[in-house]
Each structure stands twice: as structure tokens, then as C-alpha cells.
Chains A and B, each alone.
Chain A
Amino acid sequence: MIKKIFVSLALLGLVLMFLPFVRDFDFHNELSDLSSQYVVGSINDLNTQNVVTSVIVTYRGLDTLGEVTVLFLATAGVGFLLRKKKASLKPRRSSELLQTASQFLFVLIILTGVYIFTHGHLTPGGGFQGGVLITTAFLLLILADVNLKFNHSILHLVESFSGAFYVMIGLFGLLLIGMNSFLDPAILPLGKFGYLLSAGAIPIIYSLVGLKVGSELTTIIDKMGGE
């Protein structure tokens, strides 16, 4: 009973705290100065069609590096907590339909994921979405064959190389352009607006992010689902 009163009080306090924010919220009709600067800079300086991509990869690039680090730490935690003990004895077979379809769909899903993260600067999508799609392809394999063993050394190799190259591209910006240009995509030619080979290093950085996210989430899925 006392607990219920405390819970109600806490929720009521939360609602009262947020109420002024909802009531007095005034919606703007114009972009703020910073956002319009980002949109204009994305056309003039970066040649990137997708403004969200230019914000993630370039303007807030250090932030994304931190996010990828948090993802790596969470994956390490999952891997530490769910260490494999021993392989299960009786193999369970999935249905014939799932096995055949997964062999057919695996390649197509991987291709779609690669398409999404290489075209991240042109169309909606990018490294995070492409990486997640690659993970779903591996998830299909796990569902079709429960006793599947992934080659963990390849997964770790892809993961650590993409992370290392990500930082190295950032350091190249410092070396080639000068101070204040960590993760500057202008180390490569900027190309023509709206073409695949444009926007400097943005497609390369986003592909590396996609590989890193894909391999890390595949590790999580493997640890959680494998037996």
C-alpha cells in the first residue's frame, strides 16, 4: 500500500515536471541558425545529399566515434556475461522451408545492407541501418540452423580493423589538412553533387561504421541465441 502511494507520487511529480514543457512548447517555423548552417554546408562544403549523414559523420563525427565505443563496450559486456559453456548434445533441425529460404535470402539481404551503407550519403540510410540489415541476415542463418558455429576470429578481425581504420581516417585529416580537422572528409576529392563517388571520405567512413555495427550486433545475436 505504501509502495503504491510512493509510485503514484513519483509519477505525479514526473507529470507535473513535464507539463509546463508540453504546454508552453512553441513550434518554430524556421530552422535554427545552426541547423540551416548544417544544411547549407552540406551542399557547399561536403557535397552530401543526405543532411543527416553529414551531421552524423562529419559535424558530429567525434560523437559517433563515442557511440561506436559505447556499442563496443556493451558488446564486450554481453560476451563476458554469456560465455559459452559446452555445445548442446542433441541437434535440433529447423523446418525444410526455413533452411532453403535462408540460403537463398542470405546473399540478397547482405547485398541490400551493403547497398544501404555505401549509398548513405545519397539516400536515406547509412552505416547503422546497413549494419543492422547485415545482422538480420546472420540472424536468419542462426534461426535456420541452431548449432551453427560462426568463425569468431573473422568477426573480431572485421570489427577491430573497421574501428582502427575509422580512427586512422580521422587522424589523416589532422595530418593532411591541419589542426581542427579530425574526421574531415575533404582528405579525398569531393566529386560532383549527387554521384556515388562524391562527398570525400564520407562513404568510406560510413561503410566502416556499417561493418563495425554489423559485426558487433552479430556477436550479440550469436551470444544471446547460440546454445
Chain B
Amino acid sequence: MISIIIIVLGIIMIVAAFLAIHLKNLLSAVISAGVISLLASVIYLLLAAPDVAMTEAAIGSGLTTIIFIFTLKKIKKGDLDD
């Protein structure tokens, strides 16, 4: 049962990884990278590591995505100024 869930999640994660690399829109790419981290936290939970799952859910999909979006915002703003 666990193997089937991991295979399904893994296919979604690999598709999201390809999207994160190949999408032209940077915001969509950042969101795809966040999806990878969110699904990775489910996999950690299935692999009996709840501590790691908590950390990954809070950091990987929350703070890392926000930091990327802040960076995009700063770069956009520089564009508008000049």
C-alpha cells in the first residue's frame, strides 16, 4: 500500500520537477518547486519520520517559496524603476 502511494506521489513530483525547470514563467516555476517539497513531506510521513515531515512542510513548501517570491518581487521592482 505504501509503495503504491509513493509511486503515485513520485510521478507527480517528477512531473513537477520537469515543470519547475522548463516553465518560462518564473512564478509558476517557483510554485512547482514548492509542490515538490510539499509532496516530499508526505513521503517523509509515510517513511515514519514525522519530525522531518513537519520541518519540510513548514520550511520547504512555506518559507522557501516565500523567499523566492520575495526575490521575484524585488527584481520586478527594479525593472519598474528604471
Hey, which bits of chain A sit against chain B, CB under 8 A? 50, 52-53, 124-126, 128-129, 132-133, 135-136, 139, 217, 220-221, 224-225, 227
User: Bound state CA distance, A224 and B66, in angstroms?
Assistant: 10
Inside 8 A of B70's CB, which chain A residues have their CB? 221, 224-225
Interface contact B51-A50, CB-CB below 8 Å: yes
At the interface with chain A, which of B7-15, B17-25, B32-40, B53-61? Answer: B53-61
Complex CA–CA separation, A227 to B81 (angstroms): 14
- Asked, given contacts A136-B63, A139-B66, whether A227 binds B50 with beta carbons under 8 Å apart, the answer is no
Which residues of the partner chain A approach B77 to less than 8 Å between Cβ atoms? 227
CA distance A206 to B45 in the complex (A): 22
Residue among A50, A132, A217, A224 making CB contact with B71, cutoff 8 Å: A224
**Given the contacts A136-B62, A227-B77, A128 and B67 also touching, CB distance less than 8 Å:** no
Q: How far is the CB of B52 from chain A (nearest CB, A)?
A: 8
Contact count A vs B, C-beta below 8 Å: 40
**Of A53, A124, A135, A136, which contacts B54 at CB under 8 A?**
A124
- List the B side residues contacting A225 at CB < 8 Å: 66, 70
Which label, helix, strand, loop or mixed, suits the secondary structure of the A interface? helix
Secondary structure call for the B interface: helix
**Nearest opposing residue in chain A for B59, CB measure:** A132
Q: A129 and B63: CB pair below 8 A? A: no
B15 to chain A, nearest CB (A): 19
Beta-carbon nearest neighbor of A88 in chain B: B77
Name the distance in Å between A123's Cβ and chain B's nearest Cβ. Answer: 9
A227 contacts across to B, CB distance below 8 A: 74, 77
A125 CB contacts on chain B under 8 angstroms: 51, 54
| A225 CA to B59 CA, complexed, in Å | 16
In Å, the complex CA distance between A217 and B71 comes to: 16
| Chain A residues closer than 8 Å to B55, beta-carbon distance | 128-129, 132
Q: A224-B70, A225-B70 are in contact. Are A132 and B51 (CB under 8 A)?
A: no
